[in-house]
DNA sequence: AAGATGATCTTTACGGCGTCCAGATTCAGA
DNA sequence: TCTGAATCTGGACGCCGTAAAGATCATCTT
């Protein structure tokens, strides 16, 4: 009875404002774009005063951190699913890459927040390397699975980094530019993405040749 | 005598405010970071009123466009030099990639402005494809030079896109995260960059195998 | 040479932003 | 039931981007 929040008459305090604020932020991000994502607008969307969020987040950045975290969680799920649907290692790698890029294409503003949040910090968020089902770890583990040549730790990290960078570069381009002509010429987005990844020789090639 | 602007007594109007504003913006970007880059701060830095810039730029975005354009020019020069220093095609490609990433590392805020400016627009700036010495065209032409297999137009564009994305992804990571441990383990930044590019199989491999 | 014209710059103002602070409201535990 | 802590509101401050109106100055016309 505490979630869904009754909704007819405004409750005593709010119920779960923290949750409501994150949702409001994601809604604004989707519908109005990143420039519309002000702390005041989020409060407005959630139906509270402009200062209310400060009882749940230290500042605007901390709200965005929370939004970004949910973005990573969503991405991890999508990549887990994509990987699970494939049997061969090569297909797994391709599927991971394609899923990553498609996530960025479908959620460009969210994708940007995910990286902007860690921009000021010294590194990407910890959970990327800590959680077993994180996007990073999935790529790394699949590369281990591929393991044509027995990689040492450094080589593995290097390969994962390379794959990550390649996917990130393509994701940014696809999310914010159109390669419509190329997509059309190549017979659809899927073919285009696979084509680029093949040239990159890392998703779907995995240095097995 | 019109540049350097006399400097002792403030001139009648200003001399060349447009130039001064762009320089002030780049100075702020370097010294104070991207968050400090407000139109008012730029005007302050240039010693004029907050509304003065509006006689030279339609809005803040147009100033940033000008800053971004100079960023692309600088990048083009660096890549031209890097390419000219090499003889073999393979070395040229590697040098192009390394120069690109190092530019982003040395000018992270500027690099970001270059992409942010075109983020709202439908495509990357026109001069990237129009100017012969643009970064894009240099990569493309070097790939043509490599031309082991005779590429058709689509294949060439795909290969250039792949290389571009790969470099961009690595550039963003290097510009805003540290791979210090990897750099150290691999014996320096240069080796690290080459290592990643080799895994990407596009700069320095060029599908010649 | 004198005056008009238009470009450039300043002043002032408006609304929106992130954030802080003082008070009001409500919850939870003694 | 009383008290203290958590939550929310209203108002304020200084910043931002931008617009409009007035001042200043270069240049062009006559």
Protein residue with the closest CA to the C1' atom of nucleotide C7: B55
pLDDT at A7: 38
Residues on A contacting B at a C-beta cutoff of 8 Å: 115, 118-119, 122-124, 154, 157-159, 161-170, 172-173, 176-179, 182, 185-186, 192, 195-197, 199-202, 205, 207
Residue B190 to residue B38: CA distance in whole angstroms: 35
Q: Could you say which DSSP state residue B188 is in?
A: S
Can you list the domains of chain A with their CATH numbers? 1-57 (1.10.10), 59-200 (1.10.357.10)
Higher pLDDT, A18 or B118: A18
Mean pLDDT of B20-35: 97
Q: Are A103 and A173 in contact (CB under 8 A)?
A: no
pLDDT at A24: 98
Which among A158, A168, A207 has CB closest to B172?
A: A168
Mean predicted lDDT score pLDDT of chain A:
88
Written as one string, the DSSP assignment of A100-125 is HHHHHHH-HHHHHHHHHHHHSSSSS-
Q: Are B157 and A182 in contact (CB under 8 A)?
A: yes
Q: Are B160 and B136 in contact (CB under 8 A)?
A: yes
Which among A119, A124, A173 has CB closest to B165?
A: A173
Residue B11 has pLDDT above 80, yes or no: no
Residue B172 to residue A172, Cβ atoms within 8 A: yes
Residue B81 to residue B174: CA distance in whole angstroms: 21
Contacts of B161 in chain A (CB under 8 A): 173, 179, 182, 196
Cα angle A40-A45-A47, degrees, rounded to a multiple of 5:
90
Q: Residue for token digits 């505490």? A: A2
pLDDT at B146: 82
Which residue in B64, B129, B165, B177 has the most chain A C-beta atoms within 10 A of its own C-beta, making it the best mutation to test that interface?
B165
Q: Which of B82-91, B130-139, B194-203 has the least mean pLDDT?
A: B194-203
Work out if A147's Cβ lies within 7 angstroms of strand C.
no
Portion of chain A with pLDDT greater than 90, in percent: 74
Q: What is the pLDDT of residues B136-162, one digit of tens each?
A: 999 999 999 887 666 788 999 999 999
End-to-end Cα, chain B, rounded Å: 57
Residue A206 has pLDDT above 50, yes or no: no
**Minimum distance, in Å, between the CA of residue A178 and any CA atom of chain B:** 7
Residue B111 to residue B72: CA distance in whole angstroms: 9
pLDDT at B180: 82
Q: What is the pLDDT of residues A32-64, one digit of tens each?
A: 999 999 999 999 999 999 999 999 999 999 999
Work out if B207's Cβ lies within 7 angstroms of strand C.
no
Written as one string, the DSSP assignment of A16-76 is -HHHHHHHHHHHHHHHH-GGG--HHHHHHHHTS-TTGGGGT-SSHHHHHHHHHHHHHHHHH
Work out if B47's Cβ lies within 7 angstroms of strand D.
no
The pair of three-digit structure tokens given for residue A126, joined into one six-digit string: 């910890």
pLDDT band at B204 (very low <50, low <70, confident <90, very high): very low
Q: Are B144 and B156 in contact (CB under 8 A)?
A: yes
């Amino acid at each position: 009875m505490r979630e869904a929040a009754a909704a007819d008459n405004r409750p005593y305090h709010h119920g779960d404002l923290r949750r409501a604020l994150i949702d409001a932020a994601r809604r604004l991000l989707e519908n109005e774009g990143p420039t519309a994502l002000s702390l005041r607008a989020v409060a407005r969307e959630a139906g509270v005063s402009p200062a209310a969020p400060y009882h749940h987040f230290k500042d605007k950045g901390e709200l965005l951190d929370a939004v970004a975290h949910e973005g990573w969680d969503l991405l991890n799920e999508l990549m887990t699913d994509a990987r699970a649907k494939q049997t061969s290692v090569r297909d797994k790698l391709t599927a991971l890459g394609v899923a990553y890029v498609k996530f960025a294409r479908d959620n460009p503003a969210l994708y940007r927040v995910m990286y902007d949040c860690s921009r000021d910090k010294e590194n990407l968020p910890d959970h990327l390397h800590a959680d077993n089902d994180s996007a990073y770890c999935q790529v790394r583990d699949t590369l281990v699975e591929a393991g044509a040549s027995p990689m040492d730790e450094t080589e593995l990290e290097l390969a994962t980094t390379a794959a990550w960078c390649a996917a990130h570069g393509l994701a940014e381009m696809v999310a914010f530019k159109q390669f419509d002509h190329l997509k059309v010429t190549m017979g659809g987005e899927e073919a285009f993405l696979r084509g680029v990844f093949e040239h990159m020789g890392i998703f779907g090639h995995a240095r097995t040749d």
